[in-house]
Amino acid sequence: MQQINLGIIGGGTVGGGVYQAVQRNGLLMTSRLGVELSIVKVAVRDLSKKRPVKIPKSLLTTDWASVVEHPHVNLVVELMGGTTTAREVVLKAFKLGKSVVTANKALLSAHGEELFLTARQFGANLYYEASVAGGIPIIKVLREGLIGNRITRLYGIVNGTCNYILSRMKNEGADFAEVLADAQRLGYAEAEPSLDVDGYDAMHKTGILASLAHGFWVNPKSIHVEGIRAVTALDIQFAGQLGYTIKLLGMVKKLEIPGKGCGPVQVSVYPTLIPNSHVLASVNGVFNAVYVRGDVVGDTLYYGRGAGQDATASAVLSDLADAALDLKFGTKSRIPPFVPHEREGAVLPIDQTVSRYYVRLSVADRPGTLARIAAILAKAKIGISSVIQPEGHQGEFVPLILMIHDATNAAMAKALNRISQLAVVKEKPVMFRVESFD
């Protein structure tokens, strides 16, 4: 029976999880694939570090290059994270003609175009199922399952930390800081949580999905990103009264230009009001979900654990199976990992995007306040669909909630800037977008 020898770079949470999963289900995979997976070496930063998964010392080394260059290793598994050394590891493997499995979304987001070109140049392959949404096989869905579809819409709840925080804020009426501290204590959020709560982790994943769906590499600098720090318990309460749930949503929309057909693609990450009747509104806790619309298949949903040792290891095992079969049958790839087919693809600037909006203002509780605000919006040709001014608030200033009809982001930003300068407005306006999934 053919044997595929693995060299793993990284022995932390994910690397240890993959080692453990291969030990647990290696025989099962062998029976299904007709190929045996054997771990030859595991590169780690510190040999003396205590690990939750025990890896035999005979397999460990601190020299990643010796693993990549090992004559018996024919598949490299990059699980170290980061974008500097990891890039060196992957490029080194490709130049030796060795394919790579990675779970590194930051690496792909920053250097994906270079990595795919290099893999093709040296006849290698890059497998990256574990880079987005953990145990949800969304990369395989886009590359294979929906290969006959043009993707017109893609919406993703792809950061478990943010979804956990927003879910608890909704269920308990708690504030962001309180739930974040609890999430850190429970291990759902890092001690330095900005990568998650400021939206950058979701941005990496959304950019990869957008690139794969639309055939041009999306520069992360062109993706508009907003995190969840500005979401308060008050916003979640009012959104609920209006029939919405707030989620951090990665969004990929292919736009149609009248008379010209397809236009640029909106690629964004921001807190979004989702109708309670929509399936994504019920995705809670640390779970992820990706909602994809194809022009042939229609709407489809993919749901599961988006992070963690076991979920990520499961996705890596899927890639190991694909890589093992490619090696077994002497094909570098049955379906290329990334196919550029939209040479003139472009990301729509956020100012040109059109949306409905939720706006919360803190205003003076006196006659004429709403009229002044409405006049500014009317001058900008922005319509108000509904207004909530809750009773029972004490003090000179009270919250005022506006639901706004479709408008460009540029027009809304300009109007809110003018509104914030009114003497009757106490604080900077809070604005979130509303998605109708049409």
Residues marked active site are found at 205
**Of 92, 90, 66, which Cα lies nearest the Cα of 79?**
90
Q: 3-state class of 224 per DSSP?
A: strand
Query: Under a CB-based contact definition with an 8 Å cutoff, are residues 131 and 103 in contact?
Result: yes
Buried residues in 158-167 as b, exposed as e (16+ CB within 10 A): bbbbbbbbbb
Which of 151, 145, 110, 150 is closest to 129 using CA atoms? 145
Distances from the Cα of 144 to the Cαs of 147, 217, 341, 365, in angstroms? Answer: 5, 18, 16, 57
Q: Which amino acid is at 47?
A: L
DSSP string, 395-436: SSEEEEEEEEEEEEHHHHHHHHHHHHTSTTB-SPPEEEEE--
Task: Name which of 119, 124, 81 is nearest 102 in CA terms.
Answer: 81
Q: Are 43 and 61 in contact (CB under 8 A)?
A: yes
Q: Which residues of 48-76 are buried (b: 16+ CB within 10 A; e: fewer)?
A: eeeeebebeeebbbeebeebbebeebbbb
Least Cα distance to 299 among 155, 96, 89 occurs for: 155
3-state secondary structure string, 173-215? CCCHHHHHHHHHHHCCCCCCCHHHHCCHHHHHHHHHHHHHHHC
At 223, is the secondary structure helix, strand, or coil? coil
Q: Find the helix packing angle between 160-172 and 233-241, rounded to 10°.
A: 70
Strands 397-408 and 224-225: unpaired
Q: Which residue has the tokens 């990891």?
A: 86
